[in-house]
């Protein structure tokens, strides 16, 4: 696997992040994510630019048409797979990078999926590190690459073979992320070494998740939707357990992930750039602190955050994520190198979801842990939430209702390619319910309007 040789001292110095004037740890963390192959899934730049050859019609013909440039096809690929470009990203020589934010360039022209595939995106053309990628079409990307490799007579890697058969995301913008960790860990012993067989995953349920904003990690003492494990650099390394990576290599990245966590904790939430009715927002703050702060905390100069875990039965949101992680995984985690052999606290039965901080909540649509609610307006009005909807990627962010601009349908379309169907969110499917979090029903309509205005200020 590519890595250390490509991002050694020479590369860091060339990138302006090394040498005698070593930068802050957060910069080294971002450099790692941009330049080191931490995963087993990747592709050559040439392969990425050839993916259009396996697209369905009429998209393939549009890409092949006279007058369609390589840059046009690259833009079409970025749209199909929901990928963003970081305008400030550079290559090791300091020149602008042409690599999508989703990939690390572990070697020249060799791209490997990065944590930023889910955790960096753009909002109204403004690139934001740590913003959940509500467009990422992971399943479509992997399916197209497998088709291209088969067409060219190229073999799939061991990890790619597994990814063909594991659900990666039932709708664009969501992924089966936590199950990836459960699955990959089942091939590892407590020291992260590969085992001859696979550990049973009894009780595991595939489920789609919306990537939460990373800038809120700095506010937390515990990680993940259920807060089952205390925050520690090793814990976030669970997502590097690629099938083809040996345990010693992974353990050797520990100091690098101290930098990655430092980078995550350095992130600031984006600020609302539109107009705000300040008088209405002040009214909203009063209502928010009376009805919402108990779980989500208070904001301003004397902020508080209780990091409260709410039982699923009380919260009423989709229970699959809370109940779909097998106890065997939590037990393995509690004894593994990732939690320092148990020194990092693991809750074996969290049984709920942690109410998140709401910094930058205006930018982090869609809402709820499974991404089932497209706007804050709908989050505040449980009975109005759409059942089947599709994010209109070509439209601007909805500044009125604060969230995604979308269209609705009675049901997802039939007779279309799977990639087109995955653009639709169907709340009737397992793990994707938009029900629950009914607490805003305590507010009257004027209070809801005021709270929405206040949330723009966070």
**CB-based contacts of 346: which residues, under 8 Å, 6+ apart?**
228, 229, 230, 330, 333, 334, 339
Specify the pTM: 0.92
Q: Per-residue pLDDT tens for 314-373?
A: 999 999 999 999 999 999 999 999 999 999 999 999 989 999 999 999 999 999 999 999
Distance of alpha carbon 52 from alpha carbon 74, whole angstroms: 9
User: CB of 427 within 8 A of CB of 388?
Assistant: yes
Rounded to 10 degrees, the C-alpha dihedral 236/238/244/247 comes to: 90
Q: Per-residue pLDDT tens for 26-44?
A: 999 999 999 998 887 889 9
Half-sphere exposure of 8 (CA within 13 A, CB side): 5
Asked if pLDDT for residue 204 goes beyond 90, the answer is no
Distance of alpha carbon 271 from alpha carbon 362, whole angstroms: 9
Mean of pLDDT values over 404-429: 95
Asked if pLDDT for residue 8 goes beyond 80, the answer is no
Angle at 414 between CA 78 and CA 393, to 5 degrees: 30
Mean of pLDDT values over 139-166: 87
Distance of alpha carbon 245 from alpha carbon 198, whole angstroms: 16
User: CB of 458 within 8 A of CB of 361?
Assistant: yes
Nearest one of 334, 357, 336, 330 to 345, comparing CA atoms: 334
- Out of 112-116, 167-171, 239-243, 385-389, pick the least confident: 239-243
Distance of alpha carbon 97 from alpha carbon 100, whole angstroms: 8
Q: Residue 22 — pLDDT band, cuts 50, 70, 90?
A: low
Burial of 333 (0-12, 13-18, 19+ CB in 10 A): buried
- pLDDT value of residue 252: 94
- pLDDT value of residue 14: 40
- pLDDT value of residue 9: 44
């Amino acid at each position: 696997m590519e890595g250390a040789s490509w991002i050694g001292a020479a590369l860091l110095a060339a990138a302006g992040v090394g040498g005698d004037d070593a930068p802050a740890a957060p910069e080294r963390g971002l450099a790692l994510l941009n330049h080191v192959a931490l995963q087993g899934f990747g592709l050559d730049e040439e392969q990425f630019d050839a993916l259009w050859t396996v697209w369905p019609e009429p998209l393939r013909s549009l890409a092949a048409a006279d007058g369609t440039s390589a840059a046009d096809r690259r833009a079409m690929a970025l749209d199909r797979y929901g990928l963003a470009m970081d305008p400030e990203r550079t290559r090791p020589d300091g020149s602008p990078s042409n690599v999508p934010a989703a990939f690390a360039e572990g070697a020249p022209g060799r791209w490997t999926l990065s944590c930023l595939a889910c955790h960096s995106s753009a909002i109204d053309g403004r690139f934001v590190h740590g913003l959940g990628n509500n467009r990422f079409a992971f399943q479509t990307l992997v399916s197209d690459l497998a088709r291209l490799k088969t067409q060219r007579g190229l073999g799939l890697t061991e990890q790619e073979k597994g990814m063909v058969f594991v659900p990666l995301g039932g709708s664009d913008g969501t992924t089966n992320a936590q199950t990836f960790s459960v699955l990959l860990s089942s091939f590892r012993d407590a020291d992260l070494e590969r085992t001859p067989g696979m550990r049973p995953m009894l009780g595991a349920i595939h489920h789609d998740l919306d990537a939460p904003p990373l800038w809120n990690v700095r506010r937390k003492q515990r990680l993940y939707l259920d807060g089952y494990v205390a925050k520690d650099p090793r814990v976030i390394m669970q997502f590097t357990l690629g099938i083809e990576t040996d345990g010693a290599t992974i353990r050797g990245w520990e100091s690098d992930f101290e930098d990655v966590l430092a980078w995550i904790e350095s992130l600031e939430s984006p600020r609302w750039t539109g107009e705000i009715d300040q008088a209405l927002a002040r009214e909203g703050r009063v209502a928010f602190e009376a009805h919402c702060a108990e779980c989500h905390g208070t904001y301003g100069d004397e902020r508080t955050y209780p990091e409260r875990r709410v039982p699923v039965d009380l919260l009423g949101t989709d229970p699959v994520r809370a109940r779909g992680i097998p106890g065997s995984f939590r037990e393995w985690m509690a004894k593994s190198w990732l939690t320092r052999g148990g020194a990092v606290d693991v809750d074996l039965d969290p049984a709920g979801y942690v109410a998140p901080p709401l910094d930058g909540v205006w930018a982090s649509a869609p809402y709820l842990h499974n991404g089932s609610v497209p706007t804050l307006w709908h989050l505040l009005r449980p009975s109005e939430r759409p059942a089947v909807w599709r994010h209109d990627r070509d439209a601007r962010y909805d500044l009125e209702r604060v969230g995604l601009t979308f269209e609705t349908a009675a049901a997802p379309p039939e007779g279309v390619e799977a990639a087109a169907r995955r653009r639709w969110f169907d709340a009737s499917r397992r793990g994707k319910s938009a029900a629950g979090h009914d607490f805003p029903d305590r507010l009257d309509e004027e209070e809801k309007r005021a709270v929405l205005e206040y949330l723009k200020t966070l």
